[in-house]
Structure 1
Amino acid sequence: MTAFRLDTRWLLEAPTEVVFGALADSLRWPEWWHGLTEVCQHRAGDEYGIGRTQRFVWRSPLGYRLCFDIRIVRVERPCLIEGVASGDVAGIGRWQLREEGSSTCVHYHWQVHTVSPWMSLVSRMARPLIVWNHRILMRRGAKGLARYLDCPLIDHRHERESRFREET
């Protein structure tokens, strides 16, 4: 297994509740997130979304397909959505939102490891390309969300990848 810990920040000139609503409605993400080809719901979850399970299918800028399920395990409206990933990658994804004046700062934390043997082998050899690929997809997400919400994207940045011990 190859492990990744990736952090992205977006700053959108939109109310936090509006940004949260768009992120919570992940079935509509393919409408605005270039590279996300499909989201299918497997389980609805409770009234807050806890337990909701959806399959995400991505087509990367490098041309490979990535497929995983996300099960929502924590929601704190309008500031947090956390899910557990399983499939081609396994781990956690966490959206954290913070109001900054009339804007919303969105922090996405993606801490996963590869599951399939082919992906583990490729990602060990091509780690910089995998990180680059993630950054491109996240940039597309930031721009797409800003268009979808019809608001300015003030900033989007990727923090240096935090390395942690890889499991073997």
Structure 2
Amino acid sequence: MLGQVHRRGYHLRSVWRLPATPARCWEVLADPAMTWPTWWPRMSARDVHVSPDGTLGSRAWLRFRSPLGYHLAVHLTVTGLEVGSSATLRVTGDLEGRAHVQVEADGTPGRSLVRVLWDVRTVRPWMNLTGPLLAPVFARAHAHVMAAGERGLTRHLTDGHPSA
């Protein structure tokens, strides 16, 4: 019998540099209909629930396919919000913890920075078991998925067409 396997914690940061104003970036990122899969490759959404006011309590299941072939399903619920600038999300599913998104001007007119912080622990037994060895690989896979999101959003903002 295997001993108890502890969940591995990850503190992951991404910074996206985007060719649009903070207001425009916020409009796309905070879309209550959760249309992210139209521009974010390897992501799908289901069970999108928009709260009555379209903000706190809104939630959805997102599924990401990593470049290594495994999938992660996470349930995001908006738990904190500063309209136009930041959102905090509770994360459950294959990961648990929280995510925080901050949208701000980058100092160049018409451009923005989006800072995304994931403070999560793995839930899937195979990830907990292999985490001591594969943590750097999981972090690189996360960076790849986030970079694909940045590229997809950049295309969406500049030409208005969904990415493939």
Q: Which TM-score band (shorter chain)?
A: 0.7 to 0.9
User: What TM-score, normalized to structure 2?
Assistant: 0.86
What is the CA–CA distance in structure 2 between the aligned matches of 1:92 and 1:46, rounded to whole Å? 22
User: Counterpart amino acid of 1:35?
Assistant: R
Q: Does 1:147 align with 2:148?
A: no
1:74 corresponds to: 80
How many residues align? The count is 150
Structure with the higher fraction of residues in strand conformation: 1
What is the CA–CA distance in structure 2 between the aligned matches of 1:78 and 1:41, rounded to whole Å? 24
Q: 2:42 aligns with which of 30, 35, 40?
A: 35
Is there any run of 5+ residues in structure 1 with no aligned partner, and where?
152-168
1:156 corresponds to: none
Contact (CA 8 Å) 1:27, 1:41: kept in 2 or not? Answer: no
Q: 1:117 aligns with which of 105, 109, 125?
A: 125
User: Counterpart amino acid of 1:53?
Assistant: R
2:142 corresponds to: 134
1:155 corresponds to: none
SS of aligned partner of 2:34: helix
Q: Give the drift of 1:83.
A: 0.4
> What percent of counterpart residues are identical?
27
What is the CA–CA distance in structure 2 between the aligned matches of 1:46 and 1:121, rounded to whole Å? 41
Q: Does 1:104 align with 2:108?
A: no
Runs of 4+ in 1 over 6 A off after TM superposition: none
Change in CA separation of 1:72 and 1:65 when aligned onto 2, cut-off 3 Å: same
1:51 corresponds to: 57
Q: Greater CA deviation, 91-100 or 116-125? A: 116-125
2:3 corresponds to: none
Change in CA separation of 1:75 and 1:46 when aligned onto 2, cut-off 3 Å: farther
User: Counterpart amino acid of 2:51?
Assistant: G
Q: Give the drift of 1:116.
A: 2.2
User: Counterpart amino acid of 1:18?
Assistant: R
Is there any run of 5+ residues in structure 2 with no aligned partner, and where?
1-6, 160-164
Q: 1:8 aligns with which of 14, 17, 37?
A: 14
Q: Aligned-pair RMSD on alpha carbons?
A: 1.4
- Deviations along 1:71-108, whole A, 9 cap, x unmatched? 10011121101100001000111110111332111100
Q: Give the drift of 1:122.
A: 2.2
Contact (CA 8 Å) 2:19, 2:157: kept in 1 or not? Answer: no
What is the CA–CA distance in structure 1 between the aligned matches of 2:19 and 2:126, rounded to whole Å? 41
SS of aligned partner of 2:87: strand
Q: Greater CA deviation, 42-51 or 142-151? A: 42-51
